[in-house]
């Protein structure tokens, strides 16, 4: 009997030692960061930022989202996070209208919600952290107009047609184009944040509009697959490098910086996704502690072209 009791005590002690770390981990605040889609390279830097900030404050960053653009799946993931009782949620809404209900549901459970990269200002979210997208689009339009002083025909490639942040960029971009610019039929063309689709769109645009003068990318999707991107532009490569054809794109990921240096883009509008990720966790933590956070945090942009490209790296 004594041997059995001792064995039971020993097992209990060993079991206690085994579960102690898990009990400690359970006490950690878990902040969930939900991008539009996990397969978009832009969000890798946002994940890096959120994990670095979480480590600083002794919390955990749970980076999770749909595999590809899917409004319903993004909503389902947020509902699951509410069930798991995470400490806070940062979300980049693909469609602000579709995500409004789950944001309200989270807030009703005292789970604070902020948006990053893409805002949903008509929802109950506490704050937005990201680029001033209309102002960034204006910078893109200014660069486009400067490169084509006589105007010309142009197309726009975007992600999802319902994405508020992308629509703001396009609005800002167009506001800086004069009356000598004309948008081709069918533009803006949605790629649904997919690089392969974006590259196919470039091929289709150039085939249907051989005299087109430039393209604006509201996000860097086609440039995330550099070899295929260069092949798609082979008939315009000389004009692009000579300034007769213009490409202005959002984002400054490493592949884009290299493409710009090699003459396959005119200007890049660089966002700061690492800061978006870190600020999201920082502000959620402050909200939980009862501190006030600004309703909008502009993470800024960088204007990158051939004159200053060597000074820039992605993810600033």
Q: What is the pLDDT of residues 49-81, one digit of tens each?
A: 999 999 999 999 999 999 988 999 999 999 999
- Of 174, 94, 104, give the one whose Cα is nearest residue 140: 174
Q: Residues with Cβ < 8 Å from 198, sequence gap 6 or more?
A: 157, 191, 217, 221, 222
Task: Give yes or no for a contact between 127 and 91, defined as CB atoms under 8 angstroms apart.
Answer: no
Q: What is the mean pLDDT of the chain?
A: 90
User: What would the mean pLDDT of 102-109 be, rounded to a whole number?
Assistant: 97
- Rounded Cα distance between 189 and 268, Å, is 19
Residue 178 has φ and ψ, to the nearest 5°, of: -80, -175
The more confidently predicted of residues 4 and 166 is 166
What pLDDT is stored for residue 5 in this prediction? Answer: 39
The token pair that represents 94 in the structure block:
């693909």
SS (H, E, C) the chain: CHHHHHHHHHHHHHHHHHHHHHHHHHCCCEEEEECCCCCCCHHHHHHHHHHHHHHHCCCEEEECCCCCCCHHHHHHHHHHHHHCCCCEEEECCCCHHHHHHHHHHHHHCCCCEEEECCCCCCCCCCEEEECCHHHHHHHHHHHHHHHCCCCEEEEEEECCCCCHHHHHHHHHHHHCCCCCEEECCCCCEECCCCHHHHHHHHHHHHHHCCCCCEEEECCCHHHHCHHHHHHHCCCCHHHHHCCCCEEEEECCCHHHHHHHHCCCCCEEEECCHHHHHHHHHHHHHHHHCCCCCCCEEECCCEEEECCCHHHCCCCC
User: What would the mean pLDDT of 98-127 be, rounded to a whole number?
Assistant: 96
The token pair that represents 14 in the structure block:
């060993």
Write the CA distances from 251 to 48, 108, 113, 133, integer angstroms. Answer: 16, 35, 25, 12
pLDDT, tens digit, 9 for 90 and up, residues 178-214: 999 999 999 999 999 999 999 999 999 999 999 999 9
First to last CA, the chain: 66
Residue 84 has φ and ψ, to the nearest 5°, of: -75, -5
- Rounded Cα distance between 280 and 33, Å, is 8
Confidence of residue 24 (pLDDT cuts 50, 70, 90): very low
Supply the pTM of this predicted model: 0.79
Task: Give yes or no for a contact between 205 and 212, defined as CB atoms under 8 angstroms apart.
Answer: yes
Is the pLDDT score of 302 beyond 90?
yes
pLDDT, tens digit, 9 for 90 and up, residues 5-15: 334 434 333 33
What pLDDT is stored for residue 26 in this prediction? Answer: 53
Residue 107, judged by CB atoms within 10 A of its CB (0-12, 13-18, 19+), counts as middle
User: What would the mean pLDDT of 244-256 be, rounded to a whole number?
Assistant: 96
Walk me through the domains of the chain, giving residue ranges and CATH numbers.
27-130+273-298 (3.40.50.2300), 133-270 (3.40.50.2300)
The token pair that represents 98 in the structure block:
């579709």
pLDDT, tens digit, 9 for 90 and up, residues 86-97: 999 999 998 999
Note the residue count of the chain.
316
The token pair that represents 185 in the structure block:
């039929």
């Amino acid at each position: 009997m004594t041997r059995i009791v001792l064995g039971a005590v020993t097992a209990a002690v060993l079991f206690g030692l085994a579960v102690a770390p898990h009990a400690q981990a359970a006490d950690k605040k878990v902040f969930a960061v939900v991008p539009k889609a996990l397969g978009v390279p832009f969000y890798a830097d946002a994940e890096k930022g959120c994990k670095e900030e979480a480590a600083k404050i002794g919390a955990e960053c749970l980076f999770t989202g749909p595999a590809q653009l899917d409004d319903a799946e993004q909503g389902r993931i947020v509902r699951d996070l509410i069930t798991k009782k995470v400490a806070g949620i940062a979300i980049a809404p693909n469609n602000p209208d579709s995500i409004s209900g789950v944001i309200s549901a989270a807030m009703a459970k005292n789970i604070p919600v902020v948006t990053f990269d893409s805002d949903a200002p008509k929802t109950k979210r506490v704050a937005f952290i990201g680029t001033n997208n209309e102002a960034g689009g204006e910078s893109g339009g200014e660069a486009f107009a400067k490169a084509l002083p006589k105007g010309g025909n142009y197309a726009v490639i975007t992600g999802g047609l319902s994405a508020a942040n992308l629509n703001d960029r396009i609005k800002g971009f167009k506001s800086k184009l004069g009356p000598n610019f004309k948008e081709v039929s069918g533009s803006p063309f949605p790629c649904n944040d997919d690089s392969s689709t974006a590259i196919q769109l470039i091929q289709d645009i150039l085939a249907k509009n051989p005299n087109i003068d430039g393209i604006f990318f509201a996000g860097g999707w086609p440039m995330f697959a550099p070899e295929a991107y260069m092949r798609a532009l082979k008939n315009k490569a000389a004009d692009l490098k000579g300034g007769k054809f213009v490409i202005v794109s959002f984002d400054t990921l490493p592949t884009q910086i290299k493409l710009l240096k090699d003459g396959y883009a005119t200007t890049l509008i660089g966002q700061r996704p690492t800061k978006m990720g870190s600020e999201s966790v920082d502000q959620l933590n402050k909200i939980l502690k009862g501190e006030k956070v600004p309703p909008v945090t502009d993470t800024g942009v960088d204007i990158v072209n051939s004159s200053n490209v060597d000074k820039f790296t992605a993810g600033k």
